Structure 1
């Protein structure tokens, strides 16, 4: 079973984001952390944030021990318009602006419809997966326009396209489906300003949030693997490498796209 949790390409140094400033949210763990470290290793000056100050501080420490440029604002609550504005101001104070925005931070509650509470599970998930993207994009938009354009990377999910048997993901499906649709609209609105907006839709990725669930419910893990053509669970670095491409000038003619980083799970 251990083999299904390995084999991601590790963070490597390079120059693909040399000269760029990237804002990455949710750097304390998972995909946000992997994006922050990879972007910094590839030459970007990274400004991160997380609501978990301890986790964000550890990521900053790890980056600096490797000689990477990473600043962080933490704790930072991006579900509050004031928190989103603070992060944008923080990045402008440090670097005068930014070229890349990676909306990796998210929160989702998982429960079956008849067991789901409206306020603390349904509404909180939509706030933590959909509002959080809207608020930061709204705050960042003037900076990207003044910069002459840039790249925004949002995170949808395989759950926006397919339902996984045994997964009580109703609110998560709704939130990530909204991110998928909002990304297309933002790409249209950003086009005249040189702002590219794309999304990535991962399938099951091993993070602190998913690891315990997978080990506690091996039948769920087996179902997820059964949907994948590449029979292993995704790693945060798998997703970060795709984000690196979308952030770079290599993707200069790509916008309104959704990239499934899912081991083939949504292809059949």
Structure 2
């Protein structure tokens, strides 16, 4: 299928790398006009040069004032309305509970929960103006199950919060035509996770998968396209796990 997002206006955070970058690229390919957001300018500007229809907007999503400026920019670019918000940005620190510092725990909650909250709140009037908008947030397989060998005390807290917060966004958004759902990926190969491919952790990851491969950013992108499109107009408040069956048993 092509042009599944034709005419739609989207903000995609975390678009500088990994899952967010692939979602931004795929949404443009499906006909959307995309405002791509990340804290680091260089990868965004590189993506902009190779992706007609995409506009780069470097933003620190942990900065309330900067997110307000992002909303102002989006309002100008998209004539006051927004159809799609993908909150794919994230900052995370991993350590076992006894070794997790409070600053790293708080940084993870800011990077995984507050960024989605601030972007959703700032862009809310534009989503309301659309009348038929979709918010796509990111939970994780780790919001549902623990994984032996992964010291994810902060990550599980953050993604569990996003999961719950998204249900409330769906409730509050319903009267305004705003749907909200989470994607909960299992292990997905990105620039950052590739460093773990040859570690003992991978034995645990592969043992949980029902399929004989790992997830890709394109796998996640296909699901994000579905949730952003009019194909999913009856889907809201849902959490869609895309993890090779890892959380099914």
TM beyond 0.5: yes
2:241 is equivalent to residue 260 of structure 1: yes
Alignment of 1:168-187 (within 5 A): 168-187=151-170
TM-score by length of 1: 0.90
Q: 2:34 aligns to what?
A: 46
Task: Give the corresponding residue for 1:87.
Answer: 70
Q: Offset of 1:46 from its aligned partner?
A: 0.5
2:57 to 65, 69, 73: 73
Ranges in structure 2 where 5+ consecutive residues have no aligned partner: none
Cα distance, 1:230 vs structure 2: 1.1
CA separation in 2, counterparts of 1:225 and 1:176? 22
Distance in 2 of aligned mates of 1:214 and 1:83: 36
Counterpart of 1:239 in structure 2 is 220
Gaps of 5+ in 1: 1-12
- What's the secondary structure of 1:111's corresponding residue? coil
Of residues 97, 107, 115, the one that matches 1:124 is 107
Shift of 1:87: 1.6
TM-score normalised by the chain length of structure 2: 0.97
- 2:19 corresponds to 1:19: no
CA shift digits 1:148-183 (9 cap, x unpaired): 230000000000000000000110000000000001
CA offset at residue 54 of structure 1? 1.1
What SS class does the counterpart of residue 91 from structure 2 fall into?
A: coil
**Equivalent of residue 82 in structure 2, options 72, 77, 98:** 98
Please state how far the C-alpha of 1:62 moved relative to its aligned partner: 2.4
Corresponding residue of 1:212 = 195
Partner of 1:59: 47
Instruction: Tell me the matched-pair count.
Output: 248
**SS of residue matched to 1:208:** coil
Aligned pair partner of 2:141 in 137, 158, 163: 158
Of 23, 35, 59, the match for 1:35: 23
Separation in structure 2 between the aligned mates of residue 138 and residue 71 of structure 1, nearest angstrom? 21
Q: What's the Cα RMSD here?
A: 1.0
User: Runs of 4+ in structure 1 displaced over 2 angstroms?
Assistant: none
2:206 aligned partner = 225
